[in-house]
Amino acid sequence: MGCDGGTIPKRHELVKGPKKVVKVDRYAELAAKWKYCALSQERLRRPIVSCELGRLFNKDAVIEYLLDKTAERPNVDTVAHIRGIKDIKELNFVDNPAWEGESRNAKGDKYEDMNCGLFICPVVGLEANGKHRFCYLQTCGCVFSERAMKEVKTEICHKCGDPFKAGDAVVLNGTKEEVEKLREKMEERRSKAKTKKSKKGKAAETVSVPCPSESKAEDTESPPVDVEAGSSLQNGDESSQSDVAGPSGSTSSSKDSKSSAAASSSTTKRSVQQMEEKSEIFKSLFTTHSSAKRTKDQTSNWVTHTPYHF
Q: Which amino acid is at 46?
A: R
Please say if the pLDDT value at position 247 is more than 50: no
Burial class (CB in 10 A: 0-12, 13-18, 19+), 149: buried
Cite the residue boundaries of each domain of the chain with CATH code 3.30.40.10: 26-99+116-193
CATH class of 26-99+116-193: alpha beta
Q: How far apart are CA 70 and CA 28, in angstroms?
A: 32
What value does the mean pLDDT of the chain take? 76
Q: How far apart are CA 128 and CA 95, in angstroms?
A: 10
User: 43-47, 85-89, 214-218, 271-275: which has the minimum mean pLDDT?
Assistant: 214-218
Q: What is the mean pLDDT of residues 258-284?
A: 69
Rounded to 5 degrees, φ, ψ at 74 are -75, 155
How much is the pLDDT for 242? 41
Are 92 and 143 contacting, i.e. CB atoms less than 8 angstroms apart? yes
How much is the pLDDT for 303? 55
Q: What is the mean pLDDT of residues 14-32?
A: 79
